[in-house]
């Protein structure tokens, strides 16, 4: 082989294993060795299933030798965030109190990856109960950004993004209620897909079984990877209805063809609240890539981004405060309690504000729907700033507000229920840059197509070795 096996993407690994150029054991051993070599520097992978993964790889190789039918991810290792059920491994949510909370069943998403032949190889780190935009907890400790340990790897799927970015896994499985897939992808130089709610089913076999309304409407499961084609492959495997998730949908993976050239609305500074020069540069080079690929690229801003961000803040925090998050506060570390205290001061939560928030959500979704008739694809920043310094989210209410302001286009999409793909655009000043490619509901295919066009022009940013200060 001309390159290290741990650098392969998921689709390339699956093709090599099916074509008998590699074995599943080769793939698993390569990733396990990579975890051993680099995980101490980043603390992204929290539990490693070395023996079980090698046994599964042996069975996968026997299937190839016997000529049995192979799934699209046959023999490919993957990792799973610690708040997604994986039978035989604790669903800790990053909490010491849940370190032995063993689910009896896989959640639908990892179950489908396994049914497609993929092999779980480890668990990844997250903030306690997913309640920070930085990955740290008292159970596992902090995950470090492989580009710069002084910067956040993002949250709450920060362990997944750091593992993907350093070659410890070709696919990571996380989730996103307020940017928890896309923020870490931006911070670590990975690609990520936030699907439309209901596209990828979710269920847990651990109490509480049923989420609050805001999570029902805004929380999604999704993949991280280094290549957009791997996001597409994982997305196609995991999508579709499941009886355990009453809101999962049977929408087709491909929408109807659109007249060409497809128009792309480009926005570099959503709401006019300011954008870092490096972030804006990344948006512009991605726009140029789409123009070269034949898209009709225009400058146009979708409606109400700031209002949607403010609505997310009301709805997500109101129901978070009324849910188990409030009840488990005594179980949280000092850092997580400090974070929750600060964010509670950002917005006043009243019954009227919450009720009004759901009305505003509908009005904004209607306005975006009309905008997307003329602009089927929207290109914009992920965060409007580079990854923030470790500790900034605990510094003050003002610092928290600055971070949330930079996330306005991220959380707007959670409120609106729209799909988006984060794709890297390179790096500036030793830190990665990335953009969001946004589509209308159930048009993940348009997002993935445009993201692949950007990736073909700009290349991929990872895997990298962790930066040593």
Separation CA 290–CA 156 (nearest Å): 30
376, 446 in Cβ contact below 8 A? yes
CB atoms within 10 A of CB 209: 9
Q: Are 168 and 38 in contact (CB under 8 A)?
A: yes
Which tokens belong to 313? 């803040």
Contact (Cβ atoms closer than 8 angstroms) between residue 265 and residue 302: yes
- Which of the following is catalytic: 156, 248, 406, 440? 156
Active site residue 156: yes
Options 89, 114, 157, 180, the catalytic residue: 180
Cα–Cα distance measured from residue 227 to residue 165, given in angstroms and rounded to the nearest whole number: 11
Task: Give me the helix-helix angle, 24-42 and 10-18, nearest 10°.
Answer: 150
Question: Which residues make Cβ contacts (< 8 Å) with residue 232, sequence separation at least 6?
Answer: 448, 452
Give the largest Cα separation in the chain, rounded: 64
180 an active-site residue? yes
Query: Could you tell me the sign of the dihedral formed by the alpha carbons of 379, 215, 112, 123, in that order?
Result: positive
DSSP states of 8-19: --HHHHHHHHHT
Partners of 422 in beta bridges: 192, 436
List all residues 6 or more positions away from 294 whose beta carbon is below 8 Å from its beta carbon. 260, 261
Angle between helical axes of 334-343 and 397-406 (0-180°, round to 10):
80
Active site residues: 81, 156, 180
């Amino acid at each position: 082989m001309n390159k290290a096996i741990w650098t392969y993407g998921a689709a390339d690994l699956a093709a090599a294993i099916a074509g008998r150029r590699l074995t599943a054991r080769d793939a698993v051993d390569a990733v396990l060795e990579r975890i051993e070599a680099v995980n101490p520097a980043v603390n992204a992978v929290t539990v490693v299933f070395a023996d079980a993964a090698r046994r599964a790889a042996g069975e996968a190789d026997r299937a190839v030798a016997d000529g049995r039918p192979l799934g699209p991810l046959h023999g490919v290792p993957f990792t799973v965030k610690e708040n997604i059920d994986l039978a035989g491994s604790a669903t800790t949510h990053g909490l010491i109190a849940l370190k032995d909370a063993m689910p009896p069943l896989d959640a639908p998403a990892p179950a489908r990856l396994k049914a497609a032949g993929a092999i779980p190889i480890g668990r990844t780190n997250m903030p306690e109960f997913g309640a920070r935009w930085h990955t740290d907890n008292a159970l596992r400790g902090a995950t470090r950004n492989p580009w710069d340990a002084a910067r956040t790897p993002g949250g709450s799927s920060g362990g997944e993004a750091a593992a993907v970015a350093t070659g410890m896994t070709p696919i990571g499985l996380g989730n996103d209620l307020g940017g928890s897939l896309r923020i870490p992808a931006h911070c670590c130089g990975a690609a990520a897909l936030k699907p439309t709610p209901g596209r990828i089913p979710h269920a847990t076999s651990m109490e509480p079984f049923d989420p609050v309304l805001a999570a029902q409407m805004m929380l999604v499961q999704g993949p991280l990877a280094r290549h957009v084609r791997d996001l597409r492959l994982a997305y196609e495997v995991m999508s579709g209805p499941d009886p355990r998730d009453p809101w999962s949908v049977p929408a087709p993976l491909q929408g109807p063809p659109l007249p060409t050239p497809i128009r792309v609305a480009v926005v570099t500074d959503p709401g006019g609240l300011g954008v870092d020069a490096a972030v804006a540069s990344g948006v512009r080079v991605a726009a140029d890539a789409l123009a070269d690929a034949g898209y009709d690229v225009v400058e146009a801003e979708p409606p109400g981004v700031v209002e949607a961000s403010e609505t997310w803040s009301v709805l997500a925090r109101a129901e978070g405060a009324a849910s188990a998050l409030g009840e488990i506060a005594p179980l949280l570390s000092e850092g997580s309690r400090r974070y929750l205290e600060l964010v509670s001061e950002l917005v006043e939560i009243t019954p009227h504000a919450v009720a009004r928030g759901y009305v505003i959500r509908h009005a904004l979704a209607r306005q975006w729907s009309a905008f997307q008739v003329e602009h089927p694809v929207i290109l914009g920043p992920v965060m409007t700033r580079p990854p923030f310094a470790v500790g900034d989210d605990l510094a003050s209410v003002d610092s928290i507000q600055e971070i949330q302001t930079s996330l306005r286009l991220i959380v707007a999409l959670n409120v609106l229920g729209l799909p988006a793909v984060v794709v890297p655009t390179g790096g500036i000043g030793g830190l990665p840059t990335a953009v969001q490619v946004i589509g209308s509901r159930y048009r993940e295919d348009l997002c993935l197509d445009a993201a692949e066009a950007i990736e073909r022009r700009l290349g991929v940013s990872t895997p990298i070795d962790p930066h040593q200060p």
